[in-house]
Amino acid sequence: MTNKERIEFLYKEDGIRNASFLDTLLHDDFILEWDSSEGKLLLQKSAIINLANELKQNYIDSFMEISHFIEQENQIVVKYNHKVTTIENPKEFVLIAKIVAIWEFEEGKIKKGYQISKPN
């Protein structure tokens, strides 16, 4: 699987909520620098896997509406809207965040991530 195919699976096949996929995708020394509504966060691999489980538990479905996808050497940049369905309303997707992420690969795994998100 190419880096592009890995990221496409992450976003298009709901891999963001798949802890076992993330465990294979993320390098053991993975770090995410995330500028969020809570401020700047530094998250390691275990925190991302915990977040995936939390997303899986709290939302029925998840959909990434991708507007930009750019690949250059070992980096991929993705701009997307994250939409989910809730337990209370499983038929309607609700926008929860607008996100830009930059992923850096090393040996077929994501080693570093940079993300900026804005809640809706």
| pTM as predicted | 0.91
- With a pLDDT cut of 90, the percent of the chain lying above it is 94
Taking residues 18-26, report their average pLDDT: 96
Q: 3-119 belongs to which CATH class? A: alpha beta
Q: Mean pLDDT across the chain, nearest whole number?
A: 95
Give CA separation, 78 vs 44, 69, 70, 87, in Å. Answer: 20, 5, 7, 28
Phi, psi of 87 (to 5 degrees): -60, -40
| 23-67 confidence digits (pLDDT tens) | 999 999 999 999 998 899 999 999 999 999 999 999 999 999 999
- Inform me whether the pLDDT recorded for 120 exceeds 90: no
Whole-number pLDDT of residue 12: 93
Domain boundaries, the chain: 3-119
Taking residues 79-86, report their average pLDDT: 96
Q: Which two tokens stand for residue 12?
A: 């298009």
Whole-number pLDDT of residue 1: 87
Give CA separation, 41 vs 17, 64, 79, 97, 120, in Å. Answer: 19, 22, 19, 16, 19
DSSP state of 111: E
